[in-house]
Amino acid sequence: MSNELKRGLEGVLVAESDLSHVDGEVGKLVYRGYDIEELARGASYEEVLHLLWHGSLPTRAELEAFSDDLAAERAVDDEVLSTVRTLADASERPMAALRTAVSMLSAYDGESGDVLAEGAAITAKVPTILAAFERARQGEPPVAPDPDLSHAGNFLYMLTGTEPDDVSEETFDMALTLHADHGLNASTFTALVIGSTMADVYSGVTGGIGALSGSLHGGANQDVMEMLREVDDSGKDPAEWAADAREEGRRIPGFGHRVYKVKDPRANILEEKLRDLADASGDRKWLEYTTAIESYLTEEGLVEKGIAPNVDFYSGSVYDAMGIPMDLYTPIFAMSRVGGWVAHVHEYREDNRLIRPRARYTGPETAEFVPLEDR
């Protein structure tokens, strides 16, 4: 057994998976062999969930049945919604509110012991919880889910009370697909560790949300939007602002990734969708700022050094263009990634082994015990 220490489990293989593969050297992401660009452009989020959970893209009949089953799970018990309103009134952070509400769901859904059944219930209800939380913050009652709308379209509808336009629904659906899975990232590994104990899926997803809430995992897209607003307030040219920020030793959010050494393929797709949204609205400010900063940093050689735009560099602008509040960006990440968490737990359970790593002891070899009365 190797005693080599790998801090952060860097490069350590802990499982085999058929679900997703990330090639950071060439900027490629695949789900079960399908390139992410093909899936984002040609398949709905529901189709991608079916692929991750059941191993294949569905036929039309399978998709209709799968989508209907998900839609039937969207309603959330009034007691959970009451807690969501209480948390909103208390100015709780959205990720913390989501974590609490998902944990509560098990009391009202009834644990089946079936990973995919529990996962479907959670996946369907997370959008309902988040939309209800935001409306409560605005002093508005929740909007009941519409079973005739897609997963993406229904969330935007529940958030605003108005059915989204085609561009917004398509863009949001793509964003969900792009964030659905990404190997054994921190939140997925957290859900997997919990799942390996044979705990229920509610526990695994709650843990995944907790891991994603940390600033080193989720939240970069919110940082990007805060940066863009700072650029706007400064009155500077975006490239000039970026040059000054680098001179001050500041890190540019949305650039660099633990795995990708080139531009994140998901960023390319969201950049295109940001252009579509800008064309539809006529507001091109965030598009111009992000592309200007990317061009400047590329010319400065950051990409050559393996520091390239990641998915967050464009996702924040996309969400802002749809009128979504900044502090909902990471919860939306969770809304999408819950599909991947469920898929990994389901896959791992097929040949389950409790995940139990070791730590190298660095404490004293011996210590003399002194009775309490003599200390």
Calculated CA dihedral for residues 290, 328, 331, 310, nearest 10 degrees: 0
pLDDT value at 134 more than 80: yes
Do 181 and 250 share a domain, yes or no?
no
Q: Residue 268 sits in which domain range?
A: 220-321
- Predicted confidence at residue 131, as pLDDT, reads 98
Q: Provide CB contacts within 8 A for 50, sequence distance 6+.
A: 56, 57, 58, 62, 63, 66
Q: In this model, does residue 2 exceed pLDDT 70?
A: no
Is 257 in the active site?
A: yes
Hey, how many other C-beta atoms are within 10 angstroms of the C-beta on 282?
6
Domain membership flag for residue 266: yes
- Over residues 238-259, the mean pLDDT reads 89
User: What CATH number is associated with residue 294?
Assistant: 1.10.230.10
169 and 56 part of one domain:
yes
- pTM of the predicted model as reported, rounded to 2 decimal places: 0.93
Are 316 and 338 members of one domain?
A: no
**CA-CA-CA-CA dihedral for 178, 182, 186, 192, to nearest 10:** 110
Q: Is 28 buried (19+), middle (13-18) or exposed (0-12) by CB count in 10 A?
A: middle
Do 265 and 176 belong to one domain? no
Portion of the chain with pLDDT greater than 90, in percent: 78
**Among 257, 264, 344, 346, the one annotated catalytic:** 257
Q: What is the per-residue pLDDT for 218?
A: 83
Domain tally, the chain: 2
**pLDDT number for residue 219:** 81
DSSP string for residues in 115-151: HHHHHHHHHHHHHHHHHHHHHHHTT-PPPPP-TTS-H
Q: Decide if 367 is inside a domain.
A: no
Backbone angles phi, psi at 200, to 5 degrees: -70, 165
Indicate the pLDDT class of residue 209, thresholds 50, 70 and 90: very high
* Mean pLDDT of the region 60-71: 98
Annotation says 151 is catalytic: no
- pLDDT (average), residues 18-29: 91
> Do residue 337 and residue 303 come from a single domain?
no
Q: Choose the catalytic residue: 181, 264, 312, 320.
A: 312
Residue 27: pLDDT over 90: no
pLDDT in tens, 152-190: 999 999 999 999 999 999 999 999 999 999 999 999 999
